Amino acid sequence: MPEILTIKHLSKAYFDKTGILTAVKDFSLTVQKGEFIALLGPSGCGKSTILSIISGLIQQTDGEVLFADDIKTAYMLQSDQLFNWRTVYKNAILGLEVQNKLTEENIVRVENMLKDYGLYEFRNHYPSQLSGGMKQRAALIRTLALSPDLLLLDEPFSALDYQSRLAVSDDILRKIKKEEKTVIMVTHDISEAISAADRVVVLTGRPAEIKSIYDIHIPSETESLIKKRQTSEFSKYFDLIWKDLDIHVS
């Protein structure tokens, strides 16, 4: 598999009135085309900072981010909001509109995604008329509408309660995996990371450094990510990662 992205010795320090805060330290990773990577780490460790640097939204203090030629990247920010004054359809085409890519072909693709994600009947509704899961799907379509080669997702399901989260994430992640896109997804949910990813990168507390990396191999008869959670391999990874994260309840 060809490499799509190489990150070398990435570091990020924020400077403000109170001094320096190091958010990311010596982070290196090579991502292959078609891989699904989960970045897993404790709250506030520097996960969003890493994605924002990869997307080019902010600058690293040190290190390199190298892309293969002509890679289109799309970034779904943590709590990416829909615009309340635009309909679902108008939200979905926003990125295309901004980038001046509202071609017939792209419009048809968005319409097909709206059908695929169960939102077509709601295309003329406003975000306030949607459930949390529907909003999340609409935000994802907006991100996917740009046909990215590399998809950066920051806690895409965090706004949902546990039960809808399981169903919505199972559904959406399967759809994304079917498209064989390259994905880097930030999460603090161990189960979500293991069930969705080919590789789980476990980060330390701030500053985010790589603690461990797991290649995930779960034999599964179905594509259901929920079913994967019931296998013994899943429990094995869960135990290892839980230990790595070193979570204390005080």
Ligand X SMILES: Nc1ncnc2c1ncn2[C@@H]1O[C@H](COP(=O)(O)OP(=O)(O)OP(=O)(O)O)[C@@H](O)[C@H]1O
Q: Are 47 and 36 in contact (CB under 8 A)?
A: no
Identify which of residues 23 and 110 has a Cβ nearer to ligand X in the complex. 23
Question: Which residues lie closer than 8 Å to 148 by C-beta, 6 or more apart?
Answer: 72, 73, 74, 181
Q: Using the rule CB under 5 A, give the single segment among 46-54, 85-93, 161-169, 240-248 that binds Mg ion.
A: 46-54
Question: Which residues lie closer than 8 Å to 118 by C-beta, 6 or more apart?
Answer: 134, 137
Residue with tokens 């979905």: 92
Cβ 69 to ligand X shortest distance, Å: 29
Cβ 33 to ligand X shortest distance, Å: 26
Is 142 a residue that touches ligand X (CB under 6 A)?
no
Is 49 a residue that touches Mg ion (CB under 5 A)?
no
Cβ 127 to ligand X shortest distance, Å: 22
Is 43 a residue that touches ligand X (CB under 6 A)?
yes
Contact pattern from residue 64 through residue 83 relative to ligand X, giving x for each residue in contact according to CB under 6 A and a dash for the rest: --------------x-----
Is 165 a residue that touches ligand X (CB under 6 A)?
no
Question: Which residues lie closer than 8 Å to 89 by C-beta, 6 or more apart?
Answer: 110, 114, 123, 124
Within residues 67-96, the interface with Mg ion by CB under 5 A covers 78
Q: Is 16 exposed, middle or buried (0-12, 13-18, 19+ CB in 10 A)?
A: exposed
Q: Determine the 3-state secondary structure of 179 from DSSP.
A: coil
Beta strands at 62-67 and 19-32: parallel, antiparallel or unpaired: unpaired
C-alpha of 183 from chain center: 6
Is 47 a residue that touches ligand X (CB under 6 A)?
yes
Cβ 220 to Mg ion shortest distance, Å: 29
Is 195 a residue that touches Mg ion (CB under 5 A)?
no
Binding residues for ligand X (CB under 6 A): 14, 16, 21, 23, 41, 43-49, 78, 188, 206
Binding residues for Mg ion (CB under 5 A): 47-48, 78
